[in-house]
Amino acid sequence: MEEIISTGNQKVSVSLSELEEPDRLILFDWINDKKLVELNSFFKPVTIEAHTNWFNSIRQNKSVRIFGIRIIENNELIGSCQLFNINELNRAAELQIRLGSFDKMGKGYGSQAVQLLLHYGFENLNLQRIYLNVFADNIRAYKSYRKNGFAEEGHLRRAAYIGDRFVDVKVMSILKEEFPK
């Protein structure tokens, strides 16, 4: 997907594109970085064989649309995002995003990628609802989702065991009519 949209007057500096074979090893490094992974999931080391199998199958899975997040200026892969659990009957999907390094966070790249992915989901897939789960203590992500139009639907107490502790999870969503054109 080379589609780029603008978000208001803000210059778009990232694009979403299909994952390619050279991206496989970069994603492998990211999925084995415990601090990065524990921002939105539990950590379990992944072997290169398991990762390669996942990488090859995820690109063929029709219930998932996964993209690389790239800086337009230099085509650098800085993260990935996806719509998964796509339910054609209910026209809904779950959103997940992961930036690959801490130095890319807090610069607006993630927010822009979310805007592009929402646009793709609502316009290309004709979804009516896109939802996500975010750890309650991941304040940066929570604020970013709110800024992008997501509303909090619920709070799941001690819903995930991350590292050595239980964390609360917030459920958020955005509806098609809430997304600005």
Alpha-carbon distance values, 136 to 70, 93, 172 (Å):
27, 21, 11
* Cβ proximity of 172 and 136 under 8 Å: no
Strand arrangement, sheet containing 92-99: 14-17, 65-71, 77-87, 92-99, 129-135, 165-175, 151-162
pLDDT at position 1: 38
Kindly report the pTM of this predicted structure: 0.90
Measuring CA to CA, which residue among 36, 49, 181 is closest to residue 123? 181
Per-chain mean pLDDT for the chain: 91
pLDDT at position 92: 98
CA distance 128 to 54: 28
Measuring CA to CA, which residue among 43, 24, 23 is closest to residue 33? 43
Which regions of the chain are under pLDDT 50? 1-9
Q: Which domains does the chain have, with CATH numbers?
A: 14-127 (3.40.630.30)
3-state secondary structure of 173: strand
Alpha-carbon distance values, 142 to 59, 92, 116, 139 (Å):
28, 20, 18, 5
pLDDT in tens, 67-80: 999 999 999 999 99
Identity of the amino acid at 12: V
Catalytic residues: 145
CA distance 127 to 94: 11
